């Protein structure tokens, strides 16, 4: 019988209404719910060309530091970079500058320069200078470790909101987050995406350097099935092991904004919810780690793992994923 790693179409019933991160707006939704807002703080119109990722955090202190050469906080006259001819803003509501943009594809397929860019002559553009990531807020449950809050009748976890209150911040190569160092980062914008009437932002990809030890549940796919290949190794973190950077964007069509929507995932009688998309550890045909202690029986098995080579990708118009290189495994 063919079975697949499935994500339930049912969204978790929320006690609180979820809010959203600003996408192509100067400020986020008015919602201030603490359990389900992506962030309840106002988004500062920070310049995404800033190299200080801490000041680019959504909800961070927006007070500007003294400029170099200023002893009393007064402004120093500097030549300002020319702005785009239309408002193109990032996930936090900050304006995108021409120097942020690396690749522009015009509506005719030709490559363009930022100076040629107008509101209606481009199709797709990429900024290879930054991305947006956050830290887990602690929403990490499964039906084995958290049976007391799991409702098998509704396949839901009591008290878990519809969206995580993830506070995304702007990250650049060299920045650190969750104990990892950003190796590369890119952000994509699409003028004709599914949600282009609300936002040009479509998603990000980031590579991270560093390693981590995690406890959770491992599943090895027994056969090819709906985009999953035989031998693929998937991981669900146990409570307390949700320590990877979070990059998981969803679009709230009712509020027309971006948030970290939570869904219940499940395989047979094992169910989970956390702030990550599927976490792939590689394939048994490609790794040198001995995983023979994990039965290939279409069940999740508890184990301690070590990983490095973390890559996170999330796209509103496509799939989101986390990929890691498995460097060690110890089954319980």
Which is higher by pLDDT, 134 or 255?
Answer: 134
Q: Which of 13-22, 187-196, 286-295 has the lowest mean pLDDT?
A: 13-22
Give me the pLDDT at residue 146, please. 98
For 139-198, the pLDDT digits (tens) are: 999 999 999 999 999 999 999 999 999 999 999 999 999 999 999 999 999 987 665 555
**d(C-alpha 155, C-alpha 7), whole Å:** 12
pTM: 0.77
Q: Please report where in the chains the tokens 């793992």 appear, as a residue.
A: 305
Which is higher by pLDDT, 190 or 56?
Answer: 190
Rounded average pLDDT over 8-27 = 40
Give the distance from CA 329 to its chain's centroid.
25
Give me the pLDDT at residue 143, please. 98
**d(C-alpha 57, C-alpha 135), whole Å:** 11
Domain-embedded: residue 29: yes
Q: Which domain holds residue 113?
A: 6-61+88-331
Domain-embedded: residue 77: no
The answer to whether 182 and 175 have CB atoms below 8 angstroms apart is yes
Confidence band of 258 (pLDDT split at 50, 70, 90): confident
Domain-embedded: residue 71: no
**d(C-alpha 234, C-alpha 253), whole Å:** 30
For 79-88, the pLDDT digits (tens) are: 577 788 888 8
Give me the pLDDT at residue 20, please. 62
DSSP letter, residue 218: E
Confidence band of 221 (pLDDT split at 50, 70, 90): very high
Confidence band of 255 (pLDDT split at 50, 70, 90): confident
Which is higher by pLDDT, 70 or 226?
Answer: 226
Give me the pLDDT at residue 251, please. 86
Rounded average pLDDT over 250-267 = 87
Domain-embedded: residue 217: yes
Confidence band of 17 (pLDDT split at 50, 70, 90): very low
Give me the pLDDT at residue 41, please. 32
**d(C-alpha 199, C-alpha 191), whole Å:** 8
pLDDT at 49 over 90: no
Q: In this structure, is the dihedral angle defined by the CA atoms of residues 280, 252, 163 and 135, taken in order, positive or negative? A: positive
Domain-embedded: residue 73: no
Give me the pLDDT at residue 169, please. 96
pLDDT at 310 over 80: yes
The rounded percent of the chain whose pLDDT value lies above 70 is 74
Q: In this structure, is the dihedral angle defined by the CA atoms of residues 255, 139, 137 and 204, taken in order, positive or negative? A: negative
Domain-embedded: residue 81: no
The rounded percent of the chain whose pLDDT value lies above 90 is 60
How many domains are there within the chain?
A: 1
Q: How far, CA to CA in Å, does 66 sit from each of 44, 46, 77, 307?
A: 18, 15, 13, 41
pLDDT at 34 over 60: no
Domain-embedded: residue 163: yes
Domain-embedded: residue 79: no
């Amino acid at each position: 019988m063919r079975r697949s790693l499935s994500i339930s179409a049912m969204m978790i019933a929320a006690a609180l209404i979820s809010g959203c991160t600003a996408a192509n707006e100067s400020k986020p939704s008015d919602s201030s719910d603490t359990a389900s807002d992506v962030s309840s703080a106002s988004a500062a119109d920070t310049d995404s060309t800033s190299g200080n990722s801490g000041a680019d955090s959504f909800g961070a202190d927006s007070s500007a530091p003294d400029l170099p050469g200023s002893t009393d906080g007064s402004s120093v006259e500097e030549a300002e970079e020319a702005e785009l001819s239309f408002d193109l803003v990032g996930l936090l509501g900050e304006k995108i500058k021409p120097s942020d943009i690396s690749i522009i594809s015009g509506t005719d397929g030709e490559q363009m320069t930022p100076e040629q860019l107008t509101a209606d002559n481009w199709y797709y553009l990429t900024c290879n200078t930054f991305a947006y990531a956050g830290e887990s807020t602690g929403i990490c449950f499964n039906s084995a470790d958290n049976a007391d809050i799991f409702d098998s009748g509704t396949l839901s976890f009591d008290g878990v909101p519809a969206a995580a209150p993830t506070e995304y911040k702007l990250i650049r190569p060299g920045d650190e987050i969750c104990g990892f160092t950003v190796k590369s980062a890119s952000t994509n914008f699409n003028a004709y995406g599914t949600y282009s009437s609300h936002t040009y932002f479509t998603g990000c990809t980031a590579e991270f350097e560093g390693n981590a030890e995690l406890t959770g549940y491992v599943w090895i796919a027994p056969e090819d099935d709906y985009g999953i290949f035989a031998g693929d190794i998937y991981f669900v973190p146990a409570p307390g092991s949700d320590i990877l950077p979070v990059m998981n964007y969803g679009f709230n069509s009712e509020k027309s904004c971006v948030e970290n929507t939570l869904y219940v995932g499940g395989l047979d009688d094992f169910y989970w919810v956390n702030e990550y998309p599927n976490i792939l550890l590689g394939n048994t045909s490609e790794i040198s780690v001995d995983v023979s202690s994990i039965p290939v029986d279409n069940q999740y098995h508890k184990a301690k793992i070590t990983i490095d080579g973390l890559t996170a990708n999330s796209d509103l118009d496509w799939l989101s994923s986390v990929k890691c290189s498995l460097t060690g495994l110890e089954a319980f």
